[in-house]
Structure 1
Amino acid sequence: MNWLNTFNWGVIAMDGLLLIGKLLIAFIAFYVARAIGRKVISQSFTKMKKQRNISAGRSHTLEKLTVNILSYVLIFILVTFIAEMFGLSPSALIAGAGVVGLAVGFGAQGLVSDVVTGFFLLLEKQVDVGDYVTVAGLDGIVEEVGLRTTQIRGFDGTLYFIPNRNITDVHNHSRGNMRALVDVSIPYEENMDETIKVIQDACADLGDVKELIKEGPDVVGVEDLTTSLVTIRVIAKTENMHQWTVERHIRKVIKQAMDEYKRSKEEDN
């Protein structure tokens, strides 16, 4: 055990403490730089949105992408700094990474496809944060658009991470007015002309949701016939993401109007 006495434990302890101190400083600097960078980016995009009249969704999309790029850059700098602390040459690491990257590059075509697809999604403004879209067979609201994945929040609360290479078709439901469609089924014996008039009159008074409607609602007529029912269709054009609210309100006023119509007929009889 005499060989243990050959070590200068004081120097080793001091070097260890210095190494730990440097690591702490590096991580603190990383988090501080990231926090400052996020704040600067947020303020910059807020000003840009006002000065260049950029939509809120587009501004939020680019802001999140810029924050992600900043994080990647800071992580690379942190790793390089730590490598230098342990006596490793960053240039040697980069060269080694290049060789390894070349070796695995043929198996990383999916990643390259993700990045290329993500780039064109952003360049062509196909989707923005907050848009209601259908992509890869999923419906939801876009929460983040990155160079590798796109995050979609489903209406049941599920957050989907979709690799960009799987996005072959984009159905963006938030570009322009949306359609509110309501079908009303009534018995054959009802008078069609009177019923259509009752429905149209009911749709003329929609209260607060009237501000959400851009066109209509209009009764387009008989849509379908079955053995016992006649289906009458009502259509309106609404603001984005408000079509469901308008549809629910139209159904409500039609139900109330039809009940009143039936009561008045019973009283007349």
Structure 2
Amino acid sequence: MNQNEWNFDWSSLFTNFGTIILKLLAIYIAYITIKKLGIKLINRVFQRIKEHQNISNGRSRTLQSLISNIFSYTLAFIFAVMILQTFNIKATAILAGAGVVGLAVGFGAQGLVSDVVTGFFLLLEKQLDVGDYVTTGNFSGIVEAIGLRTTQIRSFDGTLHYIPNRMITTLSNHSRGNMRALVDISIPYEQNIDEAIKTLQNKCNLLAQQEPKIIEGPNVLGVQNLGTSEVVIRVIAKTENMAQWEIERKLRKSLKEALDQLNKS
């Protein structure tokens, strides 16, 4: 065997390897830096928009989240191309090949395309915003993020649900307009109904003066149901959005106290 066959240019190999490592490190540092600066800039722009434009906080957070996602995906794609070029791989050839491969995986990607299209129309039609209380399918909770592919909903027990946008076929938004607080309270048959209704209404009027979250009422509608051993009286009020549960709890407490005081007299 010729001795020259063993003379390998190791210095050149290590030099090239070191150059590639330095390039990859520089690309990574640039990616992290640009991403942080870009997200910071987006946050600052939307903060100014909220201060100077007539836009709701939920809508601002929704658009901010979406633009941040688009920026992150675009930036990741650009730097992926730069990494390929570091290894002398032509991105144009890969993109051309991706068109051919895309035909093969097109049917499998239908779900992804459907997610993006559905998410686009959810935002375009303003069906929901970040911070809204919604119900879709078997999931109810507060919208935490709306992305191009998934929507994140946190239920009241703390569970965070990642729902593909294509699965949102029906949507109920409970955060549009005022809400209703409804309380049914029972009294025994022996109690004077007219006197009980008058006492309850007086207590409702007092609560309305003390509680700014009540928009209208509370009003005692009257007898709602006749049970086996009690008469059910219904009370209803309109409240600020997401305040209905708090007002219902305060109503139950106040009405119970009013009935106890009436029974003692």
Question: What TM-score does the superposition give when structure 2 sets the normalisation length?
Answer: 0.95
Tell me, what secondary structure is at the counterpart of 2:241? coil
Residue 20 (1) aligns with residue 21 (2): yes
Tell me, what secondary structure is at the counterpart of 2:263? helix
Q: In 2, Cα distance between the equivalents of 1:28 and 1:209?
A: 57
Q: In 2, Cα distance between the equivalents of 1:222 and 1:140?
A: 33
Residue 174 (1) aligns with residue 178 (2): no
- What's the C-alpha RMSD, in Å, of the aligned pairs? 1.7
Residue 113 (1) aligns with residue 114 (2): yes
1:199 matched to which residue of 2?
200
Q: In 1, Cα distance between the equivalents of 2:139 and 2:78?
A: 37
Tell me, what secondary structure is at the counterpart of 1:189? coil
Q: Which amino acid aligns with 2:180?
A: R
**Identical columns (%):** 57
Q: In 2, Cα distance between the equivalents of 1:150 and 1:207?
A: 37
Q: In 1, Cα distance between the equivalents of 2:147 and 2:4?
A: 56
Question: Residue by residue, what CA displacement relative to the aligned partner does 1:77-99 show, whole Å, maximum 9, x if unpaired?
Answer: 11101101111100011111221
Tell me, yes or no, if the aligned pair for 1:134 and 1:170 is still in contact at 8 Å. Answer: yes
Question: Residue by residue, what CA displacement relative to the aligned partner does 1:81-135 show, whole Å, maximum 9, x if unpaired?
Answer: 1101111100011111221112111222211111111110000000000001111
Tell me, what secondary structure is at the counterpart of 1:87? coil
Tell me, what secondary structure is at the counterpart of 1:120? helix
Q: Tell me by how many angstroms 1:50 deviates.
A: 2.9
Tell me, what secondary structure is at the counterpart of 2:34? helix
Question: Residue by residue, what CA displacement relative to the aligned partner does 1:123-182 show, whole Å, maximum 9, x if unpaired?
Answer: 000000000111122110001111211110100000001111111111111110000000
Any gaps of 5 or more consecutive residues in structure 1?
265-269
Q: Tell me by how many angstroms 1:258 deviates.
A: 1.4
Tell me, yes or no, if the aligned pair for 1:209 and 1:246 is still in contact at 8 Å. Answer: no
Give the aligned length: 264
Q: In 1, Cα distance between the equivalents of 2:224 and 2:218?
A: 15
Pick which of 196-205 and 174-183 moved more. 196-205
Question: Residue by residue, what CA displacement relative to the aligned partner does 1:192-247 show, whole Å, maximum 9, x if unpaired?
Answer: 01111111111122288610010000001111111111111100000001000100
Any gaps of 5 or more consecutive residues in structure 2?
none
Matches within 5 A, 1:51-90: 51-90=52-91
Q: In 2, Cα distance between the equivalents of 1:4 and 1:15?
A: 21
Matches within 5 A, 1:190-269: 190-206=191-207, 210-264=211-265
Q: Tell me by how many angstroms 1:53 deviates.
A: 0.7
1:99 matched to which residue of 2?
100
Question: What TM-score does the superposition give when structure 1 sets the normalisation length?
Answer: 0.94
Question: Residue by residue, what CA displacement relative to the aligned partner does 1:27-71 show, whole Å, maximum 9, x if unpaired?
Answer: 111011111111111111122223331111001000000000011
Tell me, yes or no, if the aligned pair for 1:209 and 1:249 is still in contact at 8 Å. Answer: no
Matches within 5 A, 1:182-193: 182-193=183-194
Q: In 1, Cα distance between the equivalents of 2:210 and 2:114?
A: 44
Flag the 1:29–1:254 CA change in 2: closer, same or farther, 3 A: same
Q: In 2, Cα distance between the equivalents of 1:209 and 1:117?
A: 44
Q: In 1, Cα distance between the equivalents of 2:6 and 2:68?
A: 52
Pick which of 65-74 and 36-45 moved more. 36-45
Flag the 1:206–1:5 CA change in 2: closer, same or farther, 3 A: farther
2:165 matched to which residue of 1?
164
Flag the 1:125–1:209 CA change in 2: closer, same or farther, 3 A: farther
